[in-house]
Amino acid sequence: MSDEADLKHSPLEDEHRALGAHLGPFAGWLMPIEYAGTLAEHRAVREAVGMFDLTHLGKIMVDGPGAMNALQRSMPNDVSKVALGGAQYNMVLNERGGIVDDLINYRLDEHRWLCVPNAANVHKVHAAVLAQAGPDTDVVLREDLCLIAPQGPRSFDLVGSLFPDAVGLEYMHGMESSYRGEDMVVSRSGYTGEKGFELFVPDRLAAGLWRELLSAGRADGLEACGLGARDTLRLEMGYPLHGNDIWDEKTPLEAGLGWAVALEKDMDFVGRDALLRQKTEGVPSRLWGLRCVEQGRIPRPHAPMLAADEPVGETTSGTFSPTLKIGIAMGYVSPRDRIRAGDRVEIEVRGKRVAAEAVRPPFVASSPK
């Protein structure tokens, strides 16, 4: 456990403590893990609305005439397809094609982008984009922004009460707005599989916005939510978590993220040659979803997986699904064609084999749009 003095602190920490949150270290930050409990918070997001503090995520502003080219050269997805106000899932790769990080890019203006990487990798992403930027482009870490994320089917009513124009946003689109006279960004995005928003607000105004949202959402069953619930929510959707399901030794082709790779785009990018070689020579492994067949022991990360009594890999993430009331997991199977959707595998959980079915996530139906 890290000493709290060595961790970064959210501007909302006092608000979390006042609500009785259990705080813990996460990616170099002291963040709320849970308040009322992960199961209750998970249900709030699926059925009503939950609100997360995601300030630990990185915020990088890329601004200037060469901003798009810098992103095109440092990331595999085709950034040129993002319209003004749009957002796009993307990655930063190394020369071997391994995933250094996955992130979301928001196009705020013609030449201005907001990149939001994972907390543990923000400096790697900053360096990768900076390395591809010319003198006409600024790549700046924005450490003065807090990120508040209301998520759930009633989030439109909540956010619309403060930002009426936000309810007209399409999924994966954002807009610049203001709060108490200061600029901020409102986006229709999230990592829960539900309708929701992400609000990028200056640190000094964050506590006021948090309290105002709590007050406005009380009648709709709003719950403050910690990172424990965010993890169970994203795993039900099969969304990969960097450091667990994807890392710098696994490529997008192995992770099932080939849809976010534009090998055909007219600008070279870091890792492209390695991906072309892997596509030609054969992808060695595949990330599968695993749904336990019976209730019982819950799979956790790094549990051995077997097919027909032969080792085929290990789990990368695993948890109890509050929606399905059964264990779910993700894991890489090697060789890639060893199993197909619907095949049975076994997961070793504390010395006992648990039967599971290989599935293509999501595990539950999503409604982010």
Q: What confidence tens digit (pLDDT) does each residue in 249-280 have?
A: 999 999 999 999 999 999 999 999 999 999 99
Number of domains in the chain: 2
Cα(15)–Cα(146) distance, rounded to whole angstroms?
Answer: 13
* One domain, residues 205 and 67: no
pLDDT score of 34 more than 50: yes
pLDDT of residue 5: 75
Q: What is the mean pLDDT of residues 340-369?
A: 94
Q: What is the pLDDT of residues 329-345, one digit of tens each?
A: 999 999 999 999 999 99
Percent of the chain with pLDDT over 70: 99
Q: Is residue 9 part of a domain?
A: yes
Cα(269)–Cα(314) distance, rounded to whole angstroms?
Answer: 31
Residue 284: cis peptide before it, omega within 30 degrees of 0: no
pLDDT score of 2 more than 60: no
Among candidate residues 124, 140, 156, the one where a domain is terminated: 140
Q: What is the mean pLDDT of residues 135-162?
A: 97
pLDDT of residue 229: 98
pLDDT of residue 336: 95
Q: Which of 4 and 96 is assigned the larger pLDDT? A: 96
Q: Is residue 99 part of a domain?
A: yes
pLDDT of residue 227: 98
* One domain, residues 85 and 230: no
Q: Judging by beta carbons within 10 Å of its beta carbon (0-12, 13-18, 19+), is residue 207 exposed, middle or buried? A: middle
pLDDT of residue 369: 80
* One domain, residues 114 and 147: no
Q: Which two tokens stand for residue 7?
A: 């961790």
pLDDT score of 4 more than 90: no
Q: What is the mean pLDDT of residues 206-229?
A: 97
366 pLDDT band, cuts 50/70/90, is confident
Percent of the chain with pLDDT over 90: 96
Q: Return the CATH number at 212.
A: 3.30.1360.120
Q: Judging by beta carbons within 10 Å of its beta carbon (0-12, 13-18, 19+), is residue 5 exposed, middle or buried? A: exposed
* One domain, residues 132 and 153: no
* One domain, residues 184 and 136: no
* One domain, residues 151 and 231: yes
Among candidate residues 140, 168, 183, the one where a domain is terminated: 140
The mean of the pLDDT values for the chain is 97
Region label for 261, one of left (φ > 0), alpha (ψ between -120 and 50) or beta (otherwise): beta
367 pLDDT band, cuts 50/70/90, is confident
pLDDT score of 1 more than 70: no
* One domain, residues 125 and 70: yes
Among candidate residues 140, 155, 170, the one where a domain is terminated: 140
pLDDT of residue 176: 95
Q: What is the mean pLDDT of residues 351-367?
A: 94
**Helix/strand/coil for 243:** coil
CA 97 to the chain's CA centroid: 20
* One domain, residues 91 and 166: no
Domain of residue 102 covers 60-140
Read off the pTM.
Answer: 0.96
Q: What is the mean pLDDT of residues 226-233?
A: 98
**Residue 281: CB atoms within 10 Å:** 8
Q: Is residue 217 part of a domain?
A: yes
Best CA proximity match to 262, nearest among 95, 78, 90, 101: 78
pLDDT of residue 368: 84
CB 117 within 8 Å of CB 172: no
pLDDT of residue 61: 98
Q: Read off the DSSP letter of residue 205.
A: H
Cα(166)–Cα(160) distance, rounded to whole angstroms?
Answer: 6
Q: Is residue 104 part of a domain?
A: yes
Cα(130)–Cα(112) distance, rounded to whole angstroms?
Answer: 14
15 pLDDT band, cuts 50/70/90, is very high
* One domain, residues 37 and 157: yes
Best CA proximity match to 214, nearest among 27, 35, 335: 35
* One domain, residues 155 and 190: yes
Q: Return the CATH number at 83.
A: 3.30.70.1400
* One domain, residues 54 and 66: no
* One domain, residues 94 and 214: no
331 pairs with which residues across the strands?
288, 315
